[in-house]
Structure 1
Amino acid sequence: MSRFRGSADSTYKSLAGKRVLITGGSAGIGKATAIAFSDNGAIVTITGRRQERLDAVTSQLKKGFSVVADLLNVSDCKRTVEEAVKMMGGLDILVNCGGVWTDAITSDHLGAKGFGDAFTMHVVTPAQLIEEAMPHLSANKNGAVVNLSSLSAIQVNPDGAAYNIAKAAQDHLTKTLSRKYTSKGVRINSVNPGFVDTEIFDVLVKDTGRTKQELHDWAKTENELKEICTPEEIAGPILFLASDAASFISGVHIPVCAASQVQLEIDDPSVFFAGK
């Protein structure tokens, strides 16, 4: 019998009627998260750079809205929150799923442009969105923020310095702001996935010259289930952290990577102790 693959099913009754803003909601994890929140009765606004892709997702939501925004442009943060609040009548949950993988991050990962793009999108933009959203999130003393981080904040790829370091900084942002705002009734946490079957593999095909199947086969070796995580398997932990089921959880980072963050034991202890 094959292993059950999880999904963000309709189990979080506390999310019904909640007003949720999800950045990067037009594809991948953001899209899966938007659909999962909607399936649990939430009102959802998603952001993205292309209206047609946003429309394709909002058509799948029970009650959904969209804001066209390029959040690599920090000035879009204030407008994004204002428009979302206006359309939904308030804001209870913010999910920072927006990400970027620019040429500079890939090819100039130790240069100023690479660091600039990575830190803007993964640190400055989430910080600004949280600050703009805070008056609304704290209004009912039951707000939540979930930042989509990465296992790269914990385990590093030496050829991805700008991204790795920006994600580590994002995790510290999560902890710092959780100390600042939990007392105001807003919990702030993050989810840190390993490899997920999203459009990132299309980028990796371009960067590595490998086929998508070759990259999938390699990614499967990087975790203990020997499979690739689906976007829906990330949406589930995001919903949990945003729901009342996580009412006493704030300032944590949840790795979702099938034990790949755990240092492996040595298969044969005699190898380690040989010669001692």
Structure 2
Amino acid sequence: MLLKDKVAIITGGAKGMGEATGKKFAEEGATVIIADLDFDSAQMAVEQIQSSGGRARAYNRVDVTDSATIKATVNQTIAEFGKVDILVNCAGGTFGSNGSSENINMNDWDRTINLNLNGTLYPIMEVLPYMKEQKSGKIVNFSSMGAFNAYTVVLHYHAAKGAVESLTHNLAFELAPQGIHVNVISPGPIMTPFWDELMPQGPERDQFTAALAKKEVPLQRMGTPEDIAGVCLFLSTGLSDYVTGQKINVGGGMGNIISHNSTFLSSEENGKVNK
């Protein structure tokens, strides 16, 4: 039980990567606090964890851009369990336009920056006093492959995630002497409910995502929420006690190497890809 007796707060924990991480943590002995804007889905995630023998809570509807709702969840966590050992900042997203220089507007920009950057900082600021007092803590933030290596143009989202990486490195430097670890995960293409907003489930989407993975992902498959949860687990346990201020790309090799089909010499075009 890698997280026995640990207490973890997961923002955006009701669905997708956050939900998978919560379930993984509970399996490893943690008490999981689901902090999500969709309170009904958060309660469902809690019930699933509890039905599997784990321990979980969802105290209130949490909007990570509203520090009062975060404070309420942290206060209730402290009141019931007396500590916060882990914070996973999984909440995020984008608004409105596609975010190119031709169609972006400042309202979309401000809302996206607020959600992804301020929505990462606010939960950190609420848990830090308790982590400093206990002289320990694990904080895991989320970036995006596109922050510094754009595969498509989403200016506001990628700018916000780039700032999250800077925030991570600066906090890691500041908090290291106090025993608090801060790291960031950069996911590749992960199959989550996010895709439901882009196109409906079915053969057409399956064909599209398979082609995307074959073209761009060195391991030639889409990622799963469980792929992310495993890395979150590593960064939240004693296995990573000598790791802070780091970014881990979780994209089937994306961010470190390129796929065979992204280069002519090793591509199918040149007859070199293993089929």
TM range (shorter): 0.7 to 0.9
> By how many angstroms is 1:49 displaced?
2.0
Pick aligned residue for 2:88 from 83, 95, 107: 95
- Aligned-residue RMSD, C-alpha: 2.2
For 1:109 and 1:152, the matched residues in 2 are separated by 18
Aligned partner of 1:9 in structure 2 is none
Tell me the residue number matched to 1:219.
212
Shift of 1:238: 0.6
- Verify: 1:150 aligned to 2:144, yes or no: yes
Deviations 1:87-138 (A, max 9, x none): 3321111000111232256588732122212211111121121111101122
3-state DSSP of counterpart to 2:29: coil
Name the CA shift for 1:116/1:105 in 2 (closer, same or farther; >3 Å).
farther
Show CA shifts across 1:120-164 (max 9, x none).
Answer: 111112112111110112232221100122212232144311111
* Corresponding position of 1:273: none
Partner letter of residue 43 of structure 1?
T
Q: Give the gaps of 5 or more residues in structure 2.
A: 267-275
In structure 2, the residue corresponding to 1:138 is in which secondary structure? helix
Give the equivalent residue in structure 2 for 1:166. 160
- Given that residues 105 and 115 in structure 1 are in contact (C-alpha distance below 8 angstroms), is that contact kept between their aligned partners in structure 2? no
Find the counterpart in structure 2 of residue 45 from structure 1: 33
Runs of 4+ in 1 over 4 A off after TM superposition: 104-109
Q: What is the alpha-carbon distance in structure 2 between the residues aligned to residue 202 and residue 257 of structure 1?
A: 20
Equivalent-residue separation in structure 2 for 1:223 and 1:250 (angstroms): 27
Identity %: 26
CA distance change for structure 1 residues 44 and 93 in 2, over 3 Å: closer, same or farther?
A: same
**Cα offsets for 1:14-57 (capped at 9, x unmatched):** 41110100000100000000000000000110011233211211
Q: 2:65, 2:122 within 8 Å by CA — same for their partners in 1?
A: no
Matched, 1:60 2:48: yes
Structure 2-normalised TM-score?
A: 0.85
Query: Over residues 217-241 of structure 1, what are the superposed CA-to-partner deviations in whole Å (9 max), with x where a residue is unaligned?
Result: 2331220111111100100011101
Between the two proteins, the alignment pairs up a number of residues equal to: 254
How far apart, in 2, do the equivalents of 1:156 and 1:88 lie?
A: 42
Question: Which of the residues 236, 242, 246 maps onto 2:240?
Answer: 246
- Larger RCO (alpha carbons 8 Å, 6+ apart): 1
Contact 1:109–1:159 (CA under 8 A) maintained in structure 2? no
How far residue 259 of structure 1 moved from its aligned partner, in angstroms, is: 1.4
Query: 1:214/1:101 Cα in 2 relative to 1: closer, same or farther (>3 Å)?
Result: farther
Q: 1:80 to 1:100 in 2, by over 3 A?
A: farther
In the aligned structure 2, how far is the partner of 1:240 from the partner of 1:199? 24
Q: How much does 1:86 deviate?
A: 2.4
Distance in 2 of aligned mates of 1:30 and 1:84: 18
Q: Bigger shift: 89-98 or 145-154? A: 145-154
Deviations along 1:178-223, one digit per CA (max 9) or x if unpaired, are 11111111100011110101012112228xxx94224312331220
Do residues 83 (structure 1) and 76 (structure 2) align?
yes
Cα pair distance change 1:183/1:192, threshold 3 Å: same
How many angstroms does 1:63 deviate by?
Answer: 0.8
2-side partners of 1:92 and 1:183: how far apart? 17
Letter in 2 for 1:114: D
Pick one of 154, 170, 176 that aligns with 1:176: 170
Query: Which residue in 1 is equivalent to 2:271?
Result: none
* Equivalent-residue separation in structure 2 for 1:83 and 1:33 (angstroms): 21
- Which of 57, 66, 78 does residue 73 from structure 1 map onto? 66
Contact 2:39-2:62 within 8 A present in 1 as well: no
Q: 1:237 to 1:263 in 2, by over 3 A?
A: closer
1:131 aligned to 105, 125, 130, which one? 125
* Residue 3 (structure 2) aligns with: 15
The residue number in structure 2 matching 1:3 is: none
Q: Does the aligned pair in 2 maintain the 1:152–1:164 contact within 8 Å?
A: yes
**Cα distance in 2, alignment partners of residues 260 and 27 from structure 1:** 24
